[in-house]
Structure 1
């Protein structure tokens, strides 16, 4: 699962991650936050699913 590799990519560079999703309905944020310790590098996720929210 690629989400488990994020810490090895982001932490050595002192980077964090934020995602904006639409069609995925929050799946990316869900998979990332299921990884123990992901709060160290995962800052936030935003889901805008309706067309009105995307305007």
Structure 2
């Protein structure tokens, strides 16, 4: 888990947003939500993920 957080810490925000949009576009949002909360530590930012999915 910590290794993945270290890897993703250097990922540009725009790339992360692009990945989110791709997952939403292909209908894999539930998977991404789990991925984000488990590996990126976004438990407190789940509403941001939801808002992006509704955009």
Q: TM-score range by the shorter chain?
A: 0.3 to 0.5
User: Which of these two proteins has the greater Rg computed from alpha carbons?
Assistant: 1
| Structure ranking higher in helix proportion | 2
**What is the TM-score when the length of structure 2 is the normalising length?**
0.36
| Structure ranking higher in strand proportion | 1
**What is the TM-score when the length of structure 1 is the normalising length?**
0.36
